[in-house]
Amino acid sequence: MMKLRNIESVITPPSPHFVGDGFRVHNFIPYKADMQRMSPFIMMDYGSKFYFPPTDKARGVGVHPHRGFETVTIAYKGKVAHHDSAGNSGVISEGDVQWMTAASGILHKEFHEENFSKTGGDFQMVQLWVNLPAKDKMSKPKYQGLTNEQINKVTLPNSEGIVEVIAGQYQGVKGSASTFTPVNVLNVKLNKGAVSNFSFPAHYNTALVVIEGSVRINETDLVPVNNFVVFQNNAEDFTVEATENAIVLVLSGEPINEPIAAQGPFVMNTRAEIIQAIQDYNMGKFGYIEE
């Protein structure tokens, strides 16, 4: 009998807080306040479905810096307009992904897209921070804007659903985003009754969040919507069964076994590098972007 990867914890969503005035989120990572436990995923804010009424003033987060990691925004409901100091801009619509490599330093702002702001509507997104190894932390910033059409997909048999392979691979299909270390980010859409199997190296840190519906893990543990599952590092395989139509975000990545020094929007390896990041930001070395 195949040994299955056990569940370590099922976490109900913590009380929400606002990032700026446009992102109402539950913070699942750092898991138990430790960035190393889910490395390379060092932060995850989950914006569960929330209705924003119409407004003439776009809600969001104004200009802010990042250094030392990547931000990954996955849109489920709503639209976000993005701008950064490297000259990248665009709109992340439902089903799209924005993968921004801050690396040596970038300024960034993101607001609800203008038309979405005016009409209002349900808003639901995930933002991940993916750490970079020391050798890549000061590399050149870059941007990967992936529309849903550009994301590689695996169609499951018998109309069971679709797996969108954002990064990594699933059943031999490679992810659309390039990564610095082995990272799997899978958006799994399952019809009721469908069972999907997943396999990652046992030492990879692995988790999932139920975006829609409910699922049963390993034929035993029922996990409802908006809950976060952390797996033990005891085996490679686990199963996900949709007890109703479901969307599940599956994360698995090879840990980056290096020291982490973090302060606000900077994640480096030493305190001295954090101080340098603050100095560089204050000296304008992250570029310029209009408020």
pLDDT digits (tens, 9 = 90+) for 30-41: 998 899 999 999
pLDDT of residue 232: 98
User: Stretch 20-46: mean pLDDT, rounded?
Assistant: 96
pLDDT of residue 291: 75
Q: So where are the chain's domains?
A: 7-282
Tens of pLDDT along 199-223? 999 999 999 999 999 999 999 999 9
User: Cα(first)–Cα(last) distance of the chain, in Å?
Assistant: 58
Tens of pLDDT along 113-172? 999 999 999 999 999 999 999 999 999 999 999 999 999 999 999 999 999 999 999 999
Tens of pLDDT along 209-264? 999 999 999 999 999 999 999 999 999 999 999 999 999 999 999 999 999 999 99
pLDDT of residue 80: 96
Predicted model pTM = 0.97
Q: Which long-range contacts (CB under 8 A, 24 or more apart) does 266-272 make?
A: 266/65, 266/66, 266/67, 266/68, 267/35, 267/42, 267/67, 267/68, 267/69, 267/129, 267/131, 268/67, 268/68, 268/137, 269/134, 269/137
Rounded Cα distance, 274 and 264, in Å: 10
User: Stretch 178-196: mean pLDDT, rounded?
Assistant: 98
20: left (phi over 0), alpha (psi -120 to 50) or beta: left
7-282 is a CATH 3.40.50.2300 domain: no
Is the pLDDT score of 26 beyond 70? yes
Confidence of residue 1 (pLDDT cuts 50, 70, 90): low
Rounded Cα distance, 193 and 216, in Å: 10
User: Stretch 36-49: mean pLDDT, rounded?
Assistant: 97
Mean pLDDT (the chain) is 96
pLDDT of residue 2: 77
